[in-house]
Structure 1
Amino acid sequence: MSRKPQPSEQDAQSLQGEAWDRERTLLDSSPLSTLDEQGRPIPVTIPIALAPGIKVVYTTRLGGVSSGDYAQLNLGGKGGDDPQAVAANRQALGRQLDRPIVLVDQVHSARVWDADQGQPQGRCEADAQVTTRRDLALGIFAADCLPVLLADPRTGVMGVAHCGRRGLVAGVIPATVKAMTDRGADPSRIVATLGPRICADCYQVGSDLAHDFEKRFPGASGPCRFGGIAIDIAAAAIMELKAAGVTHIVDSAPRVGAATSYLRQDPDLEELCSQDSEGPSLSKRLEELRRPLCTLENPLWYSHRRASLASKTGEGRMLALILADD
């Protein structure tokens, strides 16, 4: 076994000097631009490897051109934002992903769109999509509801489901898994992950609604941090996945937590938190953050519930996407 020669004292001092020069260069470097060379927005997203050759991507509030209550990267077209801003944000995301994004008109149903046909022509009411195509990204809007993303890495079949309370009760997850198996997926091979959503401590509902949800999904209700009763849509989704034969579930929380920590001093996020009237400063919010995937707690995400608590008139929408990792 050979041994690497030890540097002399002079060499060591030289190496230390080079290291300091590199560190000083980093410290003196300008902040990363939020615009590309053409002045177009650069979306801030969180990619997560779901399975070999397949990834999911969560958009954040950062890196777009929307303003006011919708700042910055609003991707939803229903909330009252400037349509040109939404279009610019979607185009920027499409450039970043380097493929078309397929979207549907979500209505809290169990309907599944066959995205092998590409983008629907005209209005398409559905709350899930499946595809075998590697040249598309399937997207689901969310701002408290739960996106569930699924893939069979052997066959390449991918799916995504919008799982709000009503969609879960309607059976959107088993409908999505069935649509995937109809295209060659095997539930025992499907890998799933649960995206950003309002957590079990924050999703406050009335007692009658909680009772009905608990009856449908035993154990998926409990005390709310604000008082009263809350429901756990993530727990309900896991029940549905397991009932459909999907047991391999990847936890998105570690990667999202790391990304949140990385952005804890981001000036754009700090500015958003100082202007959105949805809570205290960024540092205070992150100090109190317990669940990085909770849309109400984490200021990285849009949250309809958080906006309502702040008496805002509008709120943006994020996208959770699944696509081939080519």
Structure 2
Amino acid sequence: MGELSSASPTVLVIPKSYDLNLFPTLRGVRCGMSRREYGHMNVKRDGGEEFSRQARKNRTDFFATEITAQKRIVEPLLYHTDRLLILAEDNFVASPEVDAVVTQLEDVCLTLTGADCPGILAYDPIANVMGVAHSGWRGTALNILSRLVDAFCICGSDPTNIFLGITPAIHSCCYLVGADVADQFCVKYRSRIKFKKGKFALDLVGVIEDHARELGIASDRITASPVCTCCTEYYFSFRREKTTPPKVAVSYLYLQ
């Protein structure tokens, strides 16, 4: 995980490894996120056949390097909804049309794509449940994290046992939104919104952290990457680049 440099508190040190280290106290839990040098990871066909084919090749190359065990890759297609799948052997699908997946299957690698939206990665070592959720402002406003925690509980988890990581994402330094978006959060999370340059600077990562604590996840079990995807060039950023279709990174979570 990127961390603050001791020499200058305003400079982020980005690790050479793709491992995000969002679960520093847990052994055998691997998570990471691709950077620009591996190319875009958007496999949706709205960019055309060649765009999708290149993304598939980029993913294959990246996973061959990063995933050190034999795993089935699960790639939710993501539609900025609160749809969630509890994945088991009898309903296994590699590309579910959802924004969150929870499972107790140990031979899978859960993935998310993103180009500014926070990705939530979660694991309960007691119940052996892992899950991921795509939590852009729409998903966050729809309480997708609450849906994720509910699904963990269905699988036998207790929120106090859940460890939660948040991937690199756009931070309030760059995330300026209109009143229509800010209004979704101003009642419960007013402290996470500041007025800036005629817009509202939304700390979406902070909102997710606050919500996680409300759901019973302990603060010392929540780790958010401090890296902003928009004001660094290590990751793709739709806000910065405005490419259509968007070029995205892929993050992953699996048990070693």
TM-score using structure 1 length: 0.65
Aligned partners of 2:22 and 2:166 also within 8 Å: no
Given the alignment, which residue of 180, 193, 213 partners 1:242?
Answer: 213
After superposition, residues 249-288 of structure 1 pair within 5 angstroms as: 249-253=221-225
Aligned partners of 1:137 and 1:322 also within 8 Å: yes
SS in 2 for 1:188: helix
Give 1:315's aligned residue.
246
Instruction: Tell me the distance in 2 between the aligned counterparts of 1:106 and 1:162.
Output: 7
Give 1:228's aligned residue.
199
Is 1:52 matched with 2:27?
Answer: yes
Instruction: Tell me the distance in 2 between the aligned counterparts of 1:164 and 1:175.
Output: 14
Residues 1:187 and 1:83: Cα distance change in structure 2 (over 3 Å): same
SS in 2 for 1:107: coil
CA shift digits 1:113-155 (9 cap, x unpaired):
123347526x632111111122111011111111011101122
Give 2:126's aligned residue.
154
Instruction: Return the structure number with greater strand share.
Output: 2
Give 2:229's aligned residue.
295
Is 1:179 matched with 2:151?
Answer: yes
Is 1:145 matched with 2:117?
Answer: yes
The higher-RCO structure (CA 8 Å, 6+ apart) is: 2
Give 1:20's aligned residue.
none
Instruction: Tell me the distance in 1 between the aligned counterparts of 2:201 and 2:221.
Output: 23
Percent sequence identity over matched residues? 25
CA shift digits 1:152-192 (9 cap, x unpaired):
11222101111011101111001001111111211101111
Given the alignment, which residue of 108, 114, 133 partners 1:136?
Answer: 108
Is 1:76 matched with 2:42?
Answer: yes
Q: Aligned letter for 1:85?
A: Q
TM-score using structure 2 length: 0.82
Q: Which has the larger radius of gyration?
A: 1
Q: Aligned letter for 2:27?
A: P
CA shift digits 1:26-66 (9 cap, x unpaired):
xxxxxxxxxxxxxxxxxx72342612321211111123xxx
SS in 2 for 1:319: strand
Instruction: Tell me the distance in 2 between the aligned counterparts of 1:119 and 1:92.
Output: 24
Instruction: Give RMSD over aligned pairs.
Output: 2.3
Give 1:91's aligned residue.
60
Moved more, 154-163 or 239-248: 239-248
Unaligned runs of 5+ in 1: 1-43, 64-71, 254-290
